[in-house]
Amino acid sequence: MSPQTVIFYCLAVIIILSAVIATFARNIVNAAYGLFFTLLALGGVYVLLRADFLAVTQIVIYVGGILVLLLFGILLTNRRLEDLIISGQRSSLLGVVMGCVIFAVLLAIIFYARWPQSENAQLEGTTAPLGYLLLQNFLLPFEFSSITLLAALLGASYLVRPSERD
Amino acid sequence: MTAAPQSIMPLLTQMTFIVPELMLAVAIVVVIACDMFLPREKSWQCGWVALAGLGIAAMDAVYLWNVTSGRMLGGPARLFWGMVSADNFAMFFKLMFLAGAGVTILLSLRSAELTRMRSGEYYALLLTATMASCFMASSSNMLMLYLALETLSLPSYVLAGYRKSDRQAAEASLKYILFGAVSSGVMLYGLSLLYGLAGSLDYAAITRIATVNYPVFIVTMIFLIAGFGFKMSAAPFHFWAPDVYEGAPTPITAYLSVVSKMAGFAAIMRLLAPYFSMTTIAPYFDAARGMLGRQFDLTSIFWLLAVLTMTLGNFTALRQTNIKRLLAYSSIAHAGYMLTAFVAHNKDAFSAVMFYLIIYFIMNFGMFAAVTFIYNRTGSFQISDWRGLFYRSPIVVVCMGILLVSLIGLPPTAGFVGKWKLFVAVVEEGQRSASPWFFYSLVLIALANSVVSLYYYVGIIKQMCFYEPGEKLANFRFNTTQKLAMLCFAAPIIALQINWQPLSRFVERGMGAARQAVIMIIPMTTHQNQTLRAAEKTHGPQAFDIRHTGDHPC
Amino acid sequence: MTLEIGLIHYLVLGAILFALGIIGVVTRRNAVGVLISIEIILNAANLNLIAFAKHAAKGLALPGLQGSAGLDGQVFAIFIILLAACEAALALAIIITIFNRFGSIEVDYANTMSG
């Protein structure tokens, strides 16, 4: 068993366990911590997949940004922590059955499909080629995403601003 | 180091093809800047700035319409390393989106729901959504598609909840963003599987999927339909629509029901064009043979989707008392009618969808304009408050009656022509097919649905004509601008029944038919011409043409 | 399954995450909880994309670099992270607006409209 295999299975166990916590934890803060470990371990998997730049991006933006945003959301919307933070669940059975069916279908197609094989040589580092790609082949989406960010910023700031009218 | 694959000059020339979008980007910035200098009471003036931006963009889109004329849907003229296509299909939808945004802004300027609110952000977000839908119609790459779809969604979430002091608006916004985020997440998972199957993010790679992988492809498409269905408000992804339509300001409701839905249709048509152009659409599951004597394939999915959408939409519309909710279910039903074209999946059917979308554009904006005007005076969206409207303003009610008859799809209105074209396309495909009843049954169900829809549309007409005016309409009257506006919506509906050939030709050109020499006045600049030729060379010689194109020499 | 880690392993991991995300979306009542599940779904898609980028994609021809295995999948993943951030920011802004109106973010409370 190669060290890569061992690392993959360790990371996979962490990812699945913490994702289960993120999905089923009654306490929403615990769910956020579950998500934290899922995202962190996924960063590790990206390293195994030779996506070093993405691994760093995952940790910096997802773990450092989005997760902190979610925690802020939880803290700002739950004033009485003990009472409100325990979140109810509805129709758990339906959800679990649905999830299992989808998982079964996905497993079936994953094993059925004959995925094309790539014959490309692997790169040593991905940062430089990604930079080229973003400014050449993906120039248009790259520039367009600035409009996306502007819209999100504009919308979010409008919504949380105290309304002038009331 | 590396040399750029294309010199800088062609890149600038490529940019001339996205000038409408660039103009919108400029307008967004100008609107935000204007908003900073205007006090709240005057911030509605940003609307005129936005309108000016749209006008300039539309003028350039008309010019580009002639430049890209004759280039097929899914054709090889691709710009920015294959990110977007430069064809008339894209320009057709861009023109529609720009026009739709223009009408929305005019309605917003007249809407009582939005007065005394700071509206700089409103117009900036509206322009952002319009720009994104323009890119959605032209994107020919999965990354570009997803980015455009999200950029259309994000401003829509905010616009739906723009009246943030209103309880319903806040609810609408929350429902919209949760549904939207889930369905786009599911779609994204489908896109990731499609990327794996095709080995590339480019739409053209879909034709290279190995035959053995077709069952996987069909499951992938179900995931993708979740995302498109959300935008098209097709069942079972429609749950957001009634609540969002009710909670959003009426002009935004109109925008979501027309422009957002059209963007969904444009994107799925472009995504599926290379696939439908393949000579045989392979059947998927032998086990499922028996569905009207036919194997299960992609068109079967669309059959189910269309039937479910139109039936659910029409039957739920029957018990609505709020006009905005009723129109929401009506727009769901219309999405169902238009989805029948994907069952037929030939060139005529796709033209019929585009034709129908134009008529749907006029009908829906017309109805929502009426809703806005009446709300301005009565403050109510209840249909029962429209009682006796005929005695207050016969002209406007006749206009509304024409629009409603057109929504049912009865002659003498354009709605009839639209439905007729759609259903004829389906029936003709049935005549060519080995299992005709698969197609005939769909048309029969659609016709039965139209009969059901007769009931609730006529109910509105009955309310307006056969009752005494209620107290809310006591001092009610439309002003001249409003009457003129309603006439502007109703007149084309009648005119298009009398002669729909010009519109048909417009749509044919949108599908890539060669331009007629008479219309072509503006000469194409040499640079643009060369760029398109070069793009065609890079991306392969033959167009991924939809079937049955023999009559158009392109 | 073999001991060597291949494409299938990553895809199965992605499928598990996707299924868990769907379960969460259906069962959660708290809006932030739904948002957490949406992030899991997006990460499942990201994992798929990066796995395909390494194992299944055709390389893009990049000048000056020999064979760049399917980096377009990785670029897509970068954009997804960007969009996830936008979506989360906007969703939280809406959730805070709702909280100020209703005093709760249980999705069922936000239910004055029906039919």
Q: Is the confidence at residue B1, as pLDDT, over 80?
A: no
In a domain, B355, yes or no: yes
In a domain, B482, yes or no: yes
Q: Are residues B96 and B60 in the same domain?
A: yes
Give the pLDDT score at A82.
Answer: 42
Q: Are residues B216 and B302 in the same domain?
A: no
What is the residue range of B510's domain? 298-515
Q: Give the Cα separation of C39 and C21 in Å (integer).
A: 8
Give the pLDDT score at B72.
Answer: 66
Q: Is the peptide bond before B236 cis (omega within 30 degrees of 0)?
A: yes
Q: Is A92 on the interface with C (CB under 8 A)?
A: yes
All domains in chain C, ordered by first residue: 7-106 (1.10.287.3510)
- B373 Cβ contact list (under 8 Å, min separation 6): B110, B396, B478, B482, B485, B486
In a domain, B1, yes or no: no
Q: Is A119 on the interface with B (CB under 8 A)?
A: no
Greater confidence, B190 or B348?
Answer: B190
How many other C-beta atoms lie within 10 A of the C-beta of residue B283?
16
Residues from chain C that touch B325, judged by Cβ atoms under 8 A, are: 115
Cβ contact, residue pair C113, B171, below 8 Å:
yes
CA B432 and chain centroid, separation:
29
Tokens representing residue B523 in the block: 């000469």
Average pLDDT value over all residues in chain B: 86
- C59 Cβ contact list (under 8 Å, min separation 6): A118, A120, C67, C68, C69, C70, C71
Q: Is the confidence at residue C16, as pLDDT, over 50?
A: yes
Q: What is the pLDDT of residues C50-96, one digit of tens each?
A: 999 888 777 666 655 544 557 889 999 999 999 999 999 999 999 88
Residues from chain A that touch B165, judged by Cβ atoms under 8 A, are: 163, 165-166
Q: Are residues B332 and B191 in the same domain?
A: no
Give the pLDDT score at B351.
Answer: 92
Q: What is the pLDDT of residues B284-294, one digit of tens each?
A: 555 445 555 66
Cβ–Cβ pairs < 8 A, chains A and B: 97
Give the pLDDT score at C106.
Answer: 63
Q: With the C-alpha atoms ordered B316, B317, B320, B326, is the resulting torsion angle positive or negative?
A: positive
Residue C102 to chain B, least CA–CA distance (Å)? 8
Give the pLDDT score at C60.
Answer: 64
Question: How is B371-397 classified by DSSP, letter by letter?
Answer: HHHHHHHH---BGGGGTTHHHH-HHHH
Q: Is B191 on the interface with C (CB under 8 A)?
A: yes
Q: Give the Cα separation of B241 and A133 in Å (integer).
A: 38
The residue in chain C having the minimum alpha-carbon distance to the alpha carbon of residue A132 is C62
Give the pLDDT score at B485.
Answer: 95
What fold is seen in the domain A1-105?
Answer: Four Helix Bundle (Hemerythrin (Met), subunit A) (1.20.120)
- Total number of residues shown for chain B: 554
Give the pLDDT score at C71.
Answer: 85
Q: Are residues B126 and B182 in the same domain?
A: yes
Q: What is the mean pLDDT of residues B12-33?
A: 92
Which residues 34-73 on chain A approach chain C with CB closer than 8 angstroms? Answer: 35, 38-39, 42, 45-46, 48-51, 53-54, 57-58, 61-62, 65-66, 69-70, 72-73
Q: Are residues B268 and B348 in the same domain?
A: no
Residue C115 to chain A, least CA–CA distance (Å)? 21
For residue B224, name the pLDDT band (cuts at 50, 70, 90): very high
Greater confidence, B69 or A90?
Answer: B69
Which residues 148-187 on chain B approach chain C with CB closer than 8 angstroms? Answer: 150, 154, 157-158, 161, 164, 167-168, 170-175, 177-178, 181-182, 185-186
Give the pLDDT score at B2.
Answer: 39
In a domain, B45, yes or no: yes
Neighbouring subunits of B (3+ Cβ pairs under 8 A):
A, C
Give the pLDDT score at B287.
Answer: 47
Residue C99 to chain A, least CA–CA distance (Å)? 6
CB B256 within 8 A of CB B245: yes
CB C78 within 8 A of CB A144: no
Helix pair B88-110, B46-67: axis angle to 10 deg: 160
Residues from chain B that touch A115, judged by Cβ atoms under 8 A, are: 196-197
Cβ contact, residue pair B121, A148, below 8 Å:
no
Residues from chain C that touch B159, judged by Cβ atoms under 8 A, are: none
In a domain, B549, yes or no: no
Residues from chain C that touch B201, judged by Cβ atoms under 8 A, are: 72-73, 76
Q: What is the mean pLDDT of residues B82-92?
A: 89
The residue in chain A having the minimum alpha-carbon distance to the alpha carbon of residue B14 is A140
Give the pLDDT score at B374.
Answer: 93
Q: Are residues B143 and B257 in the same domain?
A: yes
Element (H, E) at B79: strand B78-79
Give the pLDDT score at B282.
Answer: 55
Q: What is the mean pLDDT of residues B476-488?
A: 91
Phi/psi region, residue B324 (left: phi>0; alpha: psi -120 to 50; beta: rest), is alpha
Q: What is the pLDDT of residues B144-178, one digit of tens each?
A: 999 999 999 999 999 999 988 888 888 899 999 99
Whole-model pTM: value is 0.92
Q: What is the pLDDT of residues B257-274, one digit of tens each?
A: 999 999 999 999 999 887
The residue in chain A having the minimum alpha-carbon distance to the alpha carbon of residue B159 is A155
Total number of domains in chain B: 2
Q: Are residues B197 and B316 in the same domain?
A: no
Give the pLDDT score at B419.
Answer: 95
Which residue is listed with tokens 């929504």?
B407
Q: Are residues B270 and B308 in the same domain?
A: no
Strand partners, B141: B202
Residues from chain B that touch A49, judged by Cβ atoms under 8 A, are: none
Give the pLDDT score at B357.
Answer: 96
Tokens representing residue B274 in the block: 């290379």
For residue B6, name the pLDDT band (cuts at 50, 70, 90): very low
Give the pLDDT score at B545.
Answer: 46
Greater confidence, A79 or B219?
Answer: B219
Q: Is A117 on the interface with B (CB under 8 A)?
A: no
Cβ contact, residue pair B192, C45, below 8 Å:
yes
Q: Is C17 on the interface with B (CB under 8 A)?
A: no
Lowest mean pLDDT among A37-46, B24-33, B382-391, C36-45: B382-391
ipTM of the complex: 0.93
Q: Phi first, then psi: what are they for B183, rounded to 5°?
A: -70, -35
Cβ contact, residue pair A15, C17, below 8 Å:
yes
Cβ contact, residue pair A15, C28, below 8 Å:
no
CB A76 within 8 A of CB C99: yes
Tell me the three state secondary structure of residue C81.
Answer: helix
Give the pLDDT score at B542.
Answer: 43
Lowest mean pLDDT among A161-165, B438-442, B511-515, B516-520: B516-520
In a domain, B67, yes or no: yes
Q: Is the confidence at residue B516, as pLDDT, over 50?
A: no
CB B120 within 8 A of CB C52: no
CB B201 within 8 A of CB C72: yes
Give the pLDDT score at A40.
Answer: 95
In a domain, B532, yes or no: no
For residue C105, name the pLDDT band (cuts at 50, 70, 90): low
Low-confidence ranges of chain A (pLDDT < 50): 80-86, 166
In a domain, B353, yes or no: yes
Give the pLDDT score at C100.
Answer: 78
Q: Is the confidence at residue B446, as pLDDT, over 60?
A: yes
- Which of B117, B135, B173 minimises the CB distance to A165? B117
Give the pLDDT score at C110.
Answer: 56
Q: Phi first, then psi: what are they for B79, rounded to 5°?
A: -115, 165
- Which of B2, B189, B200 minimises the CB distance to C45? B189
Q: Is C76 on the interface with B (CB under 8 A)?
A: yes
